[in-house]
A and B are shown apart, each in its own frame.
Chain A
Amino acid sequence: MKKNLRWKLILILFVIVLCIFLIYPPKDKIKLGLDLKGGTHLVLQVMTDDAINAETDQQIARFEEVFKKNKITYTEAAKEKPGRFHFKGINADQEGKVRDLIDQYTRDWDYSFSGDTVTFNLKPVAEQFLRDQAVIQTLETIRNRVDQFGVAEPIIQRQGSDRIVVELPGIEDPERVKNLIKVTAVLEFKLVKAGPAPDEETLLQPYEGKVPEDAEVVKGDPKRGHQGYYLVSKVASITGKDLRTVRRGTDEWNNPAVHFTLTPEGARRFEKVTGENVGKQLAIILDGKLQSAPVINSRISDSGIIQGRFTPEEADDLVVILKAGALPAGIKYLEERTVGPTLGADSIRQGLAAGLVAIFTVMAFMLFYYKLSGINAVIALFLNELIIFAALSYFKATLTLPGIAGIILGIGMAVDANILIFERIKEELALGKNVFSAINNGFSRAFSAIFDSNLTTIISAIFLFQFGTGPIKGYAITISCSLVANLFTAVFVSRFIFELIVPNNAKRLSI
């Protein structure tokens, strides 16, 4: 064997071994997309405006307190829109002091005076930061919830500025998990001042129809068997943040319920509130809806129980969301795709069938028309497929149904290079060149056309990858892998086989 042939052989064998190493075992190495293995794909949007809104409310409350402490008088504090609020009716001679206070207490807000009004505007940088944080926190919370719920290999990723993609393999009945993800899960324990009443009017009668300053009205959650309206204290005794552990258990009637323990700080507050209010009702409120309102029988310190006619699944889900914490902003579903196990299995079967038919028809055609040289193309084709799957495994790309279509299309295109070369060799032979130089010329003259044509398709695949989503990305990957692999197999490997098998002084070539 010639020396340069030996090196080529070593390189080719190395590539083959590397590919097999990357692919084996295929079950673990080749990841299937949701359209093939079944599952749910969700795209949701984080309502980051909520975070800005909350920040605005917080700032208003904060400055109300600061001004009160520093004896600054004003007539009105109002939110104009998320990220913008004002204090009206400030005394002209207090303006300087107000300026000092604002400078001292906030860097994230711009402010300006006009007459007796100071207007606050959230700085764009701060706003961007808050929105970003809201998305990151939401993502983390969703990840926690999904992990707690128990889904094998979920994918939870940020997409663009405020979107999150959630992929849940094996979940084909997404209603439950969708609700689980969507609930904001703000848990509050508040003292009941009055209620339940059938409507707000009856509830507020003893208060002359007005909600007292330190109270608010909440509605019972009909799902939990509470129909009426309750008047509860505005300030929460404890919130979801004070929970230390949560687990599913049962209440004294053996119904599903949620048990919790509190952090030391939470326990101290809870002990105080329950000790001072024995005999009163304590409302347990989730996302603004009253779940239950048990009577405080005695001082409770660090543990408790949430009841509310739960089904076992509902109790489980409540545990999950309480453990994972509340969402910093609301979310909205934008896209939902669910594929059941049957369709995925069908798609794999059909994709495989189409692929096998394609590969064998093309091979038969090449062998029939190019005779022994066709073997060359067949080897190149096999190697091509091997490299595609190895590349999928290496890049950790998922194989989707359009991806399979890309591979099948690649089979047709892969032999293009072989055909170009073989036709060129034939042409050279027809011109009376000897076999050796015909092969040489065939390869070198066909190369520019092969290179150009593969590259143009790769260019379009790159843009498809850039702008495409999910399955289309899968297509762009397989088709471009196939084309790159093609340059190696149809040009390098195929030429090596000719050089290895056809002697330099050959008189005839089976082509």
Chain B
Amino acid sequence: MDIFKKTPNIDWLKFKWIALGLTTLIILAGILNITLGKGLKMGVDFGEGTLIRIKFKEPTSVSDIRKRLNEVGLGSSIIQETGKNRTEFQIRTVEIKSTRQDQNEELESHQILANKVIEALQKKEDQEKLAQGLLDLNNIDHKTIASLLSQVFPEKSEELAQKIIEFRRQNGLITDWNSLKKEPYSLDDKVLSFLQQKTFLGSMTVLSRETVGPQVGKDLRKKATQAIIWSLIGMLVYIAFRFKGVEYGAAAIFTLFQDVLVSLSIYSFTNREINLPIIAALLTIVGYSINDTIVIFDRIRELKRLRRKEPLEKIMNLSINLNLTRTIFTSATTFLAVLALFLFGGKVINDFAFIMLIGSIEGIYSTFFMSCPVVLFWNKLFKKKK
């Protein structure tokens, strides 16, 4: 089976001006949006606030959460629904200058904000029970449960705590006591009545909580920049070395920058944040797009030896056309893998999958339309006609 009966004969280089125009347009829009519009949102990894993921017992809504946060003056936090069933949300506190004392206290002040968020979202009755000295069985960890149970059931406290954590692992929250009686947890009445005396089932559980202080945030920013710059340089050196030509290296630089800029520009129009995985994704996009470009350049290198008389432009078109099926297919398989990640991979990895989706489409475009013309432009500018 073939998608093309014979090698197609498309004049890709004819579109070079249109492609260049389109790229410029996207990047310009992106730059305008980043500098003058809403800009790129930096995430917790770069020292901006605390990210809290919460699961509620009962369905609620973003506006309800915002209302409750407004009461404690944190209504400007970024609130997103994450899971299904309107029970899972992620909240990122936005830093409030007045709560900062100095650099030393900053991590603490982030955490104070996070505690305020959690308190605000807890129901009144939860807070009353906490004040009475009861523990929230939906939030305490294995060790705390075990040490509580060891007061009365010293022999099997570890095992019982493990069962309760396992229940939370599987179901997220304990919604009623009786569900703990069922298989495979099968807690007996004695244990349950003890737990009912000492603990209560809180209305929500904190799934995760991340705070990065300003110093580490600054470091991570620096490291991310270094990772990008060094890997770009590494790739360039390798390509220039392998293809023995500055024009190919230059074309690769250009393609790299356009890959990063176009992906970031499109990303800037979404509500998503830049975190470390996004940097990793950008580098993968670059690496991947470079792969495609290399395959084409590799073909050009081969064909130039075989058909010395033909003009470079024709060889380039032929190289792209010969590799057309391959480029479409590899991009398609990667796209499928990334799509699976985007659809089924869960919220934590969703931003990563999203930028990879953009990148895998953008990568094909840059391979087809951008890399070869740059080599031609370079030759026109710097090489005299023989």
Shortest CB–CB separation between residue A372 and chain B, in angstroms?
A: 12
User: Is the pair A357, B340 in contact by a Cβ cutoff of 8 Å?
Assistant: yes
User: Is the pair A337, B283 in contact by a Cβ cutoff of 8 Å?
Assistant: no
Cβ contact of B215, chosen from A45, A313, A471, cutoff 8 A: A45
User: Is the pair A336, B298 in contact by a Cβ cutoff of 8 Å?
Assistant: no
Q: Which residues of A contact B (CB under 8 A)?
A: 35, 38, 43, 45, 150-151, 170-173, 176, 313, 332-347, 349-351, 353-355, 357-358, 361-362, 365-366, 369, 371, 401-402, 404-405, 408-409, 411-413, 415-416, 419-420, 423, 426-427, 430, 445, 448-449, 452-457, 459-464, 466-469, 471-472, 475-476, 479
Q: Which residue of B lies closest to A172 (CB)?
A: B141
- Which residues in A have their C-beta under 8 angstroms from that of B69? none
Q: What is the size category of the interface that chain B forms with chain A?
A: 35 or more
User: Is the pair A460, B287 in contact by a Cβ cutoff of 8 Å?
Assistant: yes
Interface centre among A176, A313, A336, A349, by most chain B C-beta atoms within 10 angstroms, is A336
Can you list 14 A-B pairs with a CB-CB distance of less than 8 A?
A333-B213, A334-B212, A336-B209, A336-B210, A338-B206, A340-B207, A408-B337, A416-B291, A416-B330, A419-B333, A453-B294, A464-B280, A475-B277, A475-B280
Closest 7 pairs (CB-CB, A-B): A412-B337, A350-B346, A412-B334, A453-B291, A460-B231, A457-B287, A467-B227
Shortest CB–CB separation between residue A148 and chain B, in angstroms?
A: 13
Cβ contact of B227, chosen from A408, A455, A457, A463, cutoff 8 A: A463
Cβ contact of B341, chosen from A346, A354, A413, cutoff 8 A: A354
User: Is the pair B231, A459 in contact by a Cβ cutoff of 8 Å?
Assistant: yes
User: Is the pair B208, A340 in contact by a Cβ cutoff of 8 Å?
Assistant: yes
Q: Which residue of B lies closest to A178 (CB)?
A: B111
Q: Report how far A185 CA is from B361 CA in the complex, Å.
A: 58
Q: Mark B99-135, 1 if CB is under 8 A from A, else 0.
A: 0000010011001000000000000000000000000
Stretch with Cβ within 8 A of A (4 or more), from B26-34, B70-78, B163-171, B309-317: B163-171
Contact A340-B206, Cβ < 8 Å, known A457-B284, A469-B223: yes
The SS class assigned to the A binding surface is helix
Interface centre among B286, B299, B325, by most chain A C-beta atoms within 10 angstroms, is B325
User: Is the pair B287, A468 in contact by a Cβ cutoff of 8 Å?
Assistant: no
Shortest CB–CB separation between residue B344 and chain A, in angstroms?
A: 4
Interface check B43, CB cutoff 8 A: no
Q: Report how far A339 CA is from B141 CA in the complex, Å.
A: 11
Cβ contact of B53, chosen from A343, A358, A361, A476, cutoff 8 A: A343
Contact A460-B284, Cβ < 8 Å, known A338-B210, A449-B294, A453-B294: yes
- Which residues in B have their C-beta under 8 angstroms from that of A334? 107, 212-213, 215-216
Q: Report how far A408 CA is from B286 CA in the complex, Å.
A: 17
Q: Report how far A453 CA is from B207 CA in the complex, Å.
A: 40
Contact A341-B329, Cβ < 8 Å, known A334-B215, A453-B291: no
Interface centre among A150, A343, A420, by most chain B C-beta atoms within 10 angstroms, is A343
For chain B, residues 248 to 305, give those with C-beta under 8 angstroms from any C-beta of chain A: 276-277, 279-280, 283-284, 286-288, 290-292, 294-295, 298-299, 302
Q: Which residue of A lies closest to B223 (CB)?
A: A467
- Which residues in A have their C-beta under 8 angstroms from that of B223? 467-469
Q: Report how far A490 CA is from B207 CA in the complex, Å.
A: 41
User: Is the pair A459, B284 in contact by a Cβ cutoff of 8 Å?
Assistant: no
User: Is the pair A341, B165 in contact by a Cβ cutoff of 8 Å?
Assistant: yes
Contact A460-B286, Cβ < 8 Å, known A453-B291, A469-B276: yes
